[in-house]
Structure 1
Amino acid sequence: MENEWSYKERKVISIGAVSELTGLSERQIRYYEERKLIFPSRSDRGNRKYSFSDVERLIDIANKREEGVRTDEIRMEYKKEKVKEDRETRKKMIQGQLNARFMGQNNGKRFN
């Protein structure tokens, strides 16, 4: 699973390739960056680099735009999703810490 995450998150795809993959123009892609919907990295020469996750997000954005959803509404939706993911991650980390602490004290029994 970790390898899947790393390849999907690596920022290695050029804007031209992203345009071909998504069917969006380079101008549309830059616009979504301006609207804080995607966050490409920059190469040493200043070229934008995108990940496979960015490509998936751009396709999602394009679909929502076709349905008439405004970019500010999409951004708010993504922020809510991020907060929810962060809470779930925090909860799992705390549960893992509790399990680690009590497993040593209770002969390896897990508490969920």
Structure 2
Amino acid sequence: MIEQLFDPKLVSQLLVSIGDVSEVTGIPQRKLRYWEDKGIIISSCQKEGGTRKFDYLNIKKILLIKELLDEGFTLDASVKKVEERIKKLEEAFKKIKEKTQTN
């Protein structure tokens, strides 16, 4: 069942255009560019045409920030909460990886 919900290979290759991210999340491209300018999210700009593409982690950040904004948090508070969550996840996965490598 989990395999149906999460495909690690797909996620590692996933790059989505700013237009598609905007359409899926409901966040205007202008706001996404603003968040990028503030360093909240990071895109990979393609040389040909300068199209912004976002990876899985940044799309996840965008969705989490939007969820918190919808709940009434400010942008700064939302970003802080999301960054804390991501840091905790990264630490947990690092510990899991270290534990599995020693076994």
Does residue 83 (structure 1) correspond to residue 90 (structure 2)? The answer is: no
Alignment partners' CA distance in 2, 1:95 and 1:25: 42
Alignment partners' CA distance in 1, 2:65 and 2:83: 14
Partner residue in 2 for 1:20: 23
Q: Tell me, which stretches of 5 or more residues in structure 1 are unaligned?
A: 100-112
Partner residue in 2 for 1:34: 37
Task: Compute the displacement of 1:52 (Å).
Answer: 4.7
TM-score normalised over the length of structure 2:
0.72
Q: Tell me, which stretches of 5 or more residues in structure 2 are unaligned?
A: none
Equivalent of residue 10 in structure 1, options 9, 13, 16: 13
Backbone CA RMSD of aligned residues: 2.4
SS at match of 2:53: strand
* Amino-acid identity (%): 26
Partner residue in 2 for 1:68: 72
> Which structure has the greater CA radius of gyration?
1
TM-score normalised over the length of structure 1:
0.68
